[in-house]
Amino acid sequence: MGKRTIIPFGPQHPVLPEPVHLDLVIEDETVVEAIPSIGFIHRGLEKLVEKKEYTEMVYVIERICGICSFGHGWGYCLSVEGVMGVEIPERANYLRTIWHELSRMHSHLLWLGLLADGFGFESLFMHCWRIREKVLDIFEKTTGGRVIFSVCKVGGVRKDIDEATLKEISSVVDGMKKELKELADVFLEDYSVKNRLCGVGYLSKEDAAELAAVGPMARASGLKQDMRLLGHGVYDKLGFEPCIETAGDSYARCKVRIREVFQSIDLIIKAIEMIPDGDISVPVKGNVPANECVVRLEQPRGEAFYYAKGADSKFLERMRVRTPTNQNIPAMVKTLQGCDLADVPMLILTIDPCISCTER
């Protein structure tokens, strides 16, 4: 047995600007144990519901995270609509689904870029982000914001997308397919990339189930788990089937996300073809009744959980947001055990951590 050393990793570390701290117990070059520690950017946003009216709170909730901002807004609105018993118009459901899938594309492209950066492939990183920029331009054109959209509200959406813009979105995302295919080939077939990804950070199906992994992490280990199957938005009408890989290593996680980008493109094009005319919101008035509602939503990073509890006033009594990273930290700790020190940054990256989300 070699000598054990503890190496502190983070909160400032070379992977991505997410303040996670890990105490890595190292034996020679191998990680024996990793002890996670978070809490550097806890903001107490959940507590703020007691001070902000439910209609304003959506703008605060959206700012939990910059990447899955739309998902948080949607989850909050769904849970409050559930408590109040509001039915939203069909067109709003379609628009929400389109924006959510666009968010997934931009989140996964950002992640693919960061992964390339993580194993030192700078030009691949730049090209991923070049494509992502087109999605951000669509966001700015349709919602007015590149990162935070402020477009979801309790009772529907705030902005409509006209016919011409919908057609344009459809052709832009369709055109992205060709460029994405070239980059997907690099990720999936390039010799040096495969060397860094294949067999690294293996998580078996049993472990993934036991440690309750969610999102692409679980799907890469062969679990059929995708909250889009629950039927939020219009996923049931679009004929959605989750992307599942069985290898359970970093390569499989990369492959799941690449397949999901292509799937999102198809879903967006299909939704744009099927979108009906009509209203985009219904007026919502009055207090939130003393009810409870639980909503689960598939965000780019995995399953997010929202729990809203009304108190017969304009303010909610409790709003709970449980983000996918929170659930993936135990699985991340598990994959770190037994890996090389040089692979640690990349393995942290493969769960797509968002610590700002986790701490709210």
> Which residue type occupies 220?
A
Peptide bond preceding 216 in cis form (omega within 30 of 0): no
Decide if residue 150 touches another protein (CB under 8 A).
yes
Range in contact with another protein (rule: CB under 8 A) among 210-218, 253-261, 269-277, 344-352: 210-218
186 beta partners: none
Range in contact with another protein (rule: CB under 8 A) among 92-100, 318-326, 337-345, 347-355: 318-326
**Closest CB to another protein among residues 103, 325:** 325
Selected from 96, 127, 219, 301, the binder of another protein by CB under 8 A is 127
Decide if residue 198 touches another protein (CB under 8 A).
no
Residues 284, 285, 286, 288: what is their CA dihedral angle, to the nearest 10 degrees? 10
Smallest separation, CB 1 to another protein (Å):
24
Between the alpha carbon of residue 209 and those of residues 251, 323, 360, the distances in Å are: 19, 18, 26
305 beta partners: 296, 322
> Which residue type occupies 266?
D
Q: How many residues bind another protein (CB under 8 A)?
A: 71
Selected from 141, 198, 246, 273, the binder of another protein by CB under 8 A is 141
Range in contact with another protein (rule: CB under 8 A) among 139-147, 249-257, 261-269, 346-354: 139-147
Between the alpha carbon of residue 53 and those of residues 76, 286, 316, the distances in Å are: 13, 11, 8
Selected from 2, 5, 27, 130, the binder of another protein by CB under 8 A is 130
Say how far apart CA 169 and CA 171 lie, in whole Å: 5
Smallest separation, CB 190 to another protein (Å):
4
Say how far apart CA 78 and CA 85 lie, in whole Å: 10
Is the CB of residue 356 less than 8 Å from the CB of residue 18? yes
Decide if residue 13 touches another protein (CB under 8 A).
no
Decide if residue 315 touches another protein (CB under 8 A).
no
Decide if residue 167 touches another protein (CB under 8 A).
no
R_g of the chain computed on alpha carbons: 21
Decide if residue 295 touches another protein (CB under 8 A).
yes
Decide if residue 69 touches another protein (CB under 8 A).
no
HSE-CB at 329 with a 13 A cutoff on CA atoms is 18
Decide if residue 176 touches another protein (CB under 8 A).
no
Range in contact with another protein (rule: CB under 8 A) among 1-9, 48-56, 196-204, 345-353: 48-56
Selected from 140, 163, 174, 241, the binder of another protein by CB under 8 A is 140
Residue 268: Cβ within 10 Å count: 26
Selected from 101, 303, 343, 352, the binder of another protein by CB under 8 A is 303
Smallest separation, CB 136 to another protein (Å):
11
Residues 218-277 that bind another protein (CB under 8 A): 225, 227, 229-232
**Closest CB to another protein among residues 107, 225:** 225
Smallest separation, CB 78 to another protein (Å):
8
Residue 277: Cβ within 10 Å count: 7
DSSP letter (8 states) at residue 319: E
Decide if residue 182 touches another protein (CB under 8 A).
yes
Smallest separation, CB 191 to another protein (Å):
4
Pairing state of beta strands 4-9 and 21-27?
Answer: antiparallel
HSE-CB at 205 with a 13 A cutoff on CA atoms is 9
* CB within 8 Å of 339: residues ≥ 6 apart: 30, 31, 200, 201, 347
Which pair of structure tokens corresponds to residue 106? Answer: 């931009």
Range in contact with another protein (rule: CB under 8 A) among 25-33, 95-103, 144-152, 245-253: 144-152
Selected from 13, 177, 237, 322, the binder of another protein by CB under 8 A is 322
Residues 25-44 that bind another protein (CB under 8 A): 37-40, 42, 44
Say how far apart CA 32 and CA 20 lie, in whole Å: 18
